[in-house]
Structure 1
Amino acid sequence: MKVLSLCALVSLVSRCTATIYENGHERETHFVNTRIPSLGTNDTEWTTYGPNATELSYKGRWDDKHISWWAAPGLKFAFTGESVAITFGPHTTNTVLVAYRTAGLDWQLSNITTNATHQFVSPSTPGLNATLPSQLPLTFELRVTNWAYGVQINAVHLAKGEKLIKVPEFSRRIEFIGDSLQSGYGAVYEALSGFGYTVGAGLGSTEFSITAYPGICLHDANCWGNPRGQTYQFFRTSDTSPRAAALYNSTPPLYDFSSQPTKTDLVIIMIGTNDNNTANPVRGDSYYRSYLSFVPELHTTFPSADIVIMNLWGNFVRQGNTWVQQPKFIDEIRKVYDVLKGEGYPVHFFDTKGILQHNDMGPTFHPTDAGHLKIAAHLIRWINVMFGWELDATGPEVQHETTYWNDQVNY
């Protein structure tokens, strides 16, 4: 979040604050200052693991330098003891906001400093002293909240003599493909508040990647500063961010899909809003042809996956005394589905019509947190009914800080 730069100026205090607006009012934030003095390689107070330790599970897209890309990438592992710290490398975006949690406790948020060590778990971590013996060993999870910024993992540190433990992968997996709508642009905690993350985490027992970036087109064209479209970029490890361009220039590496330990069961695509914009050089027929060629490539990449095509809800405009939805590429997307559903592999259509109303959209024409939750709730239930997936997220929070309520019951 660009609004988080204030935290870099107050790194000596225990909490960082930033300006997030909620319904036009400044929202109070509590970002924990987790930075500690850097640890030497021979520090006697810690046991240190390298970033390629087999006990570490990287979620989403990461490259061979352990740099994160795209939306809401994460890191997960179990550990013994009561201390966890991570050293972040030079390719970490300074002040990038990450969410982290231990076991089933709520997310906490912290701004990360480039080339620094941050301690996320200590004996004083709230709730840690309430851990039951049956809940050991504890798990630790970290997610980058943004879609353009990222971290580089240099080392993971535990208390002296303690050990990392591999967390088993879930047996089902979803690949989300999209643009700003999938990646949570304009939501309070960005990718962590977006419907892609909310579906993946809200189903429970599901691995997922969100290969989405604001402004990107499906068609391979320069759209809103993204030099390539998803028909090209999806198959690359890195996204189209300025930091990716600085590291890889115009030759981002191909992504090794075989590195994913769990086969992909669902591919959920919602993209085209940027193609359908006069600011970008894409026509409806180009979008249609690109979609028709893109899905077969996805089937080749994920041969056992069901592919879900979502239509585009568009924006809402006022007409007279009401609001009217203006969906985009209605005919093109429907034609893509009608052609591909007869190709011999499972292709499905998820209709977003009627899920959102005009007040579910924020000032940037993207869903609010409530809008993302509505989309996610409908899609989760559809997946449950269509594919028989059990809903296993039955306790720990998914979206952070959405417990709004009325404390006045009499008016």
Structure 2
Amino acid sequence: MRLRTMLTAVLLTLGVLAVPAPALAAGEPTDTNIEYEGRWSGAYVPQWAGAYLRVGFTGTSVALKQRGTIDFWYSIDGGAYTKATNVSGTVNLTPVRLAVGQHSLLVSYRIVAGSYTGDAVFQGLTLDAGANTYKLPKPAKGVEFVGDSITAGYTATNMALSAYPWIIGENLGVSHTQIALSGACLRELTAAQSTRGIRCYGLENRYTKTGFQDGAADWNFGRYQPAVVVVNIGTNDSGHGVNSADFRTGYTNLLRIVREKNPNARILALRIFKGSWAAETRQSVLDRQAAGDTKVTYVDSTGWWDGATMSGDGTHPNDYGHRVLAGKLQPFVSAALAS
């Protein structure tokens, strides 16, 4: 026995025998059964709005391990979304135990931006003793929505989860994410360049980044490739004094960047719901088509918006408004997915 042990040690030292990799604990952030949808940093922090994780698990309970205080929403077995507010540590998601069997979990964090300073570091799940995770079926296609507070779900009950992109994605059974930020512009503006005297984060420059923050790392577009990208941006540029020529230049450039990073995607350039920049948006699409991009389309949203019933402030959709807009836009997204 001693001779065998010594021989094994020698072979391991020489690299003749491979050391098996330790099994990853079920529910740890590195668990390959957990699907991270949207843009997440390497530290398991969701970026932008509408990123989420989903996983299957066995047993009768599940808890989320959270480093610091945060708001998030979760759904178990496809049920209604429950909001957890200002929670940290080990957060029990099943105060009433589930039936024994297989279950599914979806978790989406509130985006950490503006005045909100939560700690969105996912540190894993706690399951019953002997329980395991399993991989849920992954949708064959995905849709990415690019925009500002309207796309992010600002003022909606469940924010990103109540917004038109999330509704469309869930209705169509596809992966979906919102590369969106409240207050975002198309053009990147310093305080000196803005007529409001405040800076504006520009998606033209930041679309290629993992997050919106200054110094954010470049996103690895090999992580996922959406079948459709919907662009809905420009509401804030008007208030910051962007002129027509600059907007058209920036929009054409954004469409070029989206195409470069997603070579096979259908791109839908949406007339923003209140109608600003309609001519410039349409012309940018024509410019890209003239440059040889045959998979970019202008979507005319004329007649979709009624601020009196669809918004509490005249600009940001309420829950009803998001449902109406989702119903209007969904056929265009569905057709793009099928083409």
Does 2:82 align with 1:108? yes
Query: How much does 1:51 deviate?
Result: 1.1
Q: Secondary structure at the match of 2:39?
A: strand
Superposed, 1:258-297 pairs within 5 Å as 258-260=222-224, 263-277=225-239, 280-297=240-257
Matched residue, 2:20:
none
After superposition, give the CA deviation of every residue in 1:306-338 in whole Å (9 maximum; x if it has no partner): 000000122xxxxxxxxxxxx211221121122
Does 2:219 align with 1:255? yes
Matched residue, 1:330:
278
2:184–2:236: 8 Å Cα contact kept in structure 1? yes
- Of 77, 87, 111, the match for 2:65: 87
Counterpart-to-counterpart distance in 2, 1:219 and 1:231? 6
Query: How much does 1:385 deviate?
Result: 4.2
1:147–1:183: 8 Å Cα contact kept in structure 2? no
Matched residue, 1:183:
152
Give the AA of the match of 2:250: S
Give the AA of the match of 2:270: M
Higher Rg? 2
Query: How much does 1:145 deviate?
Result: 4.3
1:55–1:77: 8 Å Cα contact kept in structure 2? yes
Quickly say closer, same or farther: Cα 1:258–1:266, change in 2 above 3 A: same
Does 2:339 align with 1:379? no
Number of equivalent positions: 304
Q: TM-score scaled to structure 1, two decimals?
A: 0.69
Q: TM-score scaled to structure 2, two decimals?
A: 0.83
Query: How much does 1:146 deviate?
Result: 4.5
Give the AA of the match of 1:337: V
Quickly say closer, same or farther: Cα 1:388–1:49, change in 2 above 3 A: closer
- Of 93, 99, 107, the match for 1:120: 93
Matched residue, 1:202:
171
Matched residue, 2:296:
347
> By percentage of residues, which structure has more strand?
1
Counterpart-to-counterpart distance in 2, 1:313 and 1:378? 11
Superposed, 1:23-42 pairs within 5 Å as none
1:80–1:164: 8 Å Cα contact kept in structure 2? yes
Query: How much does 1:141 deviate?
Result: 0.8
Counterpart-to-counterpart distance in 1, 2:248 and 2:168? 27
Does 2:102 align with 1:137? yes
Moved more, 335-344 or 167-176: 335-344
Does 2:40 align with 1:69? no
Counterpart-to-counterpart distance in 2, 1:147 and 1:383? 28
Counterpart-to-counterpart distance in 2, 1:329 and 1:139? 42
Counterpart-to-counterpart distance in 2, 1:226 and 1:58? 31
Q: Indicate the percent of aligned positions where both proteins have the same amino acid.
A: 23
Matched residue, 1:401:
none
- Of 212, 215, 219, the match for 2:187: 219
After superposition, give the CA deviation of every residue in 1:335-374 in whole Å (9 maximum; x if it has no partner): 1122222323311111111112132121262111111111
Query: How much does 1:65 deviate?
Result: 0.6
Quickly say closer, same or farther: Cα 1:378–1:227, change in 2 above 3 A: closer
Counterpart-to-counterpart distance in 1, 2:140 and 2:254? 26
Query: How much does 1:198 deviate?
Result: 1.4
- Deviation beyond 4 Å, 4+ runs, structure 1: 223-227
Query: How much does 1:210 deviate?
Result: 0.3
Counterpart-to-counterpart distance in 2, 1:184 and 1:49? 29
Counterpart-to-counterpart distance in 2, 1:54 and 1:164? 9
Matched residue, 1:232:
205
> By percentage of residues, which structure has more helix?
2
Quickly say closer, same or farther: Cα 1:383–1:259, change in 2 above 3 A: closer
Matched residue, 2:5:
none
After superposition, give the CA deviation of every residue in 1:140-171 in whole Å (9 maximum; x if it has no partner): 11122456356211121111111111223211
Give me the CA root mean square deviation: 2.1
Quickly say closer, same or farther: Cα 1:220–1:200, change in 2 above 3 A: same
2:228–2:336: 8 Å Cα contact kept in structure 1? no
2:34–2:53: 8 Å Cα contact kept in structure 1? yes
Q: Secondary structure at the match of 1:371?
A: helix
2:164–2:323: 8 Å Cα contact kept in structure 1? yes
Counterpart-to-counterpart distance in 2, 1:153 and 1:166? 18
